[in-house]
Structure 1
Amino acid sequence: MYEAKTQLSRLIDRALAGEDVVISRAGKPMVRLVPVPPKPARRTPGSARSQIRIAPDFDELPEDIAAAFRGGRA
């Protein structure tokens, strides 16, 4: 643990480079250093425009499905 404290910057650099860095105390693994995942890109409203198509009958519910919601049959 003492060695990890004195070498923390170097250990962080190794973890950022993809190395598996495990810090131990008395020979027992205690902590694994891993990079924080990058923040996902911010979604831009309208960025999928013209890539998605909604069918003309999207809002029309078929009678058999409507009947199923009511607990009956068509």
Structure 2
Amino acid sequence: MNSRGRLFVGLLWLGVAGLMATTILVEPGFSASASELARLFVVALALFLAVVYLFDPWGVLSRQPFH
């Protein structure tokens, strides 16, 4: 995947994380319900995927094993 495509996908994942984070912060108070824990997991997963696509720390995207 070229760097332009990685940047685009990484920014999309950052947008997903931002939208999910705003849904968590809008509700007053913090209760550890299952839905809020699932939202936190989705935010963490989206941030992880954004880091992988933006920085490619392990070289996973630049290897292209099936090329």
TM tier, shorter chain? under 0.3
**TM-score normalised to structure 2 length:** 0.20
Greater share of residues in strand = 1
Q: Which has the larger radius of gyration?
A: 1
TM-score, normalised by the number of residues in structure 1: 0.19
Higher RCO (CA-CA < 8 Å; seq separation 6+): 2
